[in-house]
Amino acid sequence: MNDMETLRDAWAGTEPPSPTARANARAALLERAAAAQSAESGEPVPRVRARRRDWTIGLTAAAVAATVITGFAVAPSLNRGEHFAAQPTTAKGVLERAAYEAEHRPFKAPRPNQWLMVDTRVVLATRWTKTNDALPGPYKTSDDRLWYKVADERAATVDPKSKKLVDRMSIAAYPFPHGYANVARLPTDPAGLIAWWKDKERATNGSGEPAWELLVTQLGMFLMKSVPPPKVQAAVYLAMTRIPGATVATGIKDGLEGRTAVGVGWPTRPGVVQQILFDSSTYTYLGTRDLNGPRPASGTSGVEGTLLSAEFRTRAVYVDGPGQVPN
């Protein structure tokens, strides 16, 4: 009820937010989280460098007429071939493998009157250096639940005080939508998807080339909040292969409740790397996390690889209405 509400409340109308509004909303969200952590730990409040991200899986039995999402499917555009004979070791290989594996998972489109219920777990650092670098543990963990309407961009959550269901406008992944009806209209080829994104960013920011790190951030949020249809899912993963500066990390276990992940990461801010996580066996999308990146020559005292924040999607299930929770 939490920091995501801060972000959603930053946009009261239906017009796309300006770049300044989006930046201010994200900063306010993170400052609020850091302040709460500082109050509990007694540590000074740092300038917040972390951001929230994601994890998908964790399926439950369908109840109250719910359709469980068992995985992502993508268009049959890739062949296994020799490229997939062994575990990939490059960013391009991991993303192409994720696309290939996804196309062989079942996919069922939702009904227009349904809502996507998304449960997430957020992990945030609680200790910081004087130069605003995260220190290892302890970490603060919180759970969140939202419902996203299939037919449009409405989102709903439960007010933490009144415990009543309230509608919210969700903009965190802008310009990418989260409602299935709009997600299904996105370009289905990687080049087309990137061109669509650039056009949307230029319309908001004016002329000029939008920054790749912004696309990394937005795609991470987009994957958490939506279940793309097959061809769109393929376009997203393959579009990521065109983002420069990617690195690969293996054997990731922290926060994954027994699972092991491989992460594809990009620098998104000075001294910060964002990773998109995939299950190292099935290449299912698991979530996103931010880490201390390579340390500058001076001015910081943090350790490279220290976790700043993470968000894991623990459940994604279609239900018949907002507020409905399958058993």
Only one residue has tokens 């209405």, namely 321
Task: Report the distance separating Cα 118 and Cα 317, nearest Å.
Answer: 7
Using DSSP's 3-state secondary structure scheme, residue 275 falls into strand
The share of the chain scoring above pLDDT 70, in percent, equals 71
Rg of the chain in Å (alpha carbons): 19
Token representation of residue 13: 């109308």
Task: Report the distance separating Cα 104 and Cα 102, nearest Å.
Answer: 5
User: Which conformational region is residue 139 in: left (phi greater than 0), alpha (psi within -120 to 50 degrees), or beta?
Assistant: beta
Task: Report the distance separating Cα 252 and Cα 83, nearest Å.
Answer: 23
Does the predicted TM-score (pTM) go above 0.85?
Answer: no
Mean per-residue pLDDT of the chain = 77
2 confidence band (pLDDT: 50, 70, 90): very low
pLDDT digits (tens, 9 = 90+) for 232-290: 988 999 999 999 999 999 999 877 778 889 999 999 888 899 999 998 988 888 899 99
For 22, 72, 124, 168, 326, the CA distances from 315, given in Å and listed in that order, are 27, 13, 20, 20, 11
**Neighbouring residues of 315: CB distance < 8 A, sequence distance ≥ 6:** 58, 59, 60, 117, 118, 119
The pLDDT of residue 85 is: 61
User: Which conformational region is residue 169 in: left (phi greater than 0), alpha (psi within -120 to 50 degrees), or beta?
Assistant: beta
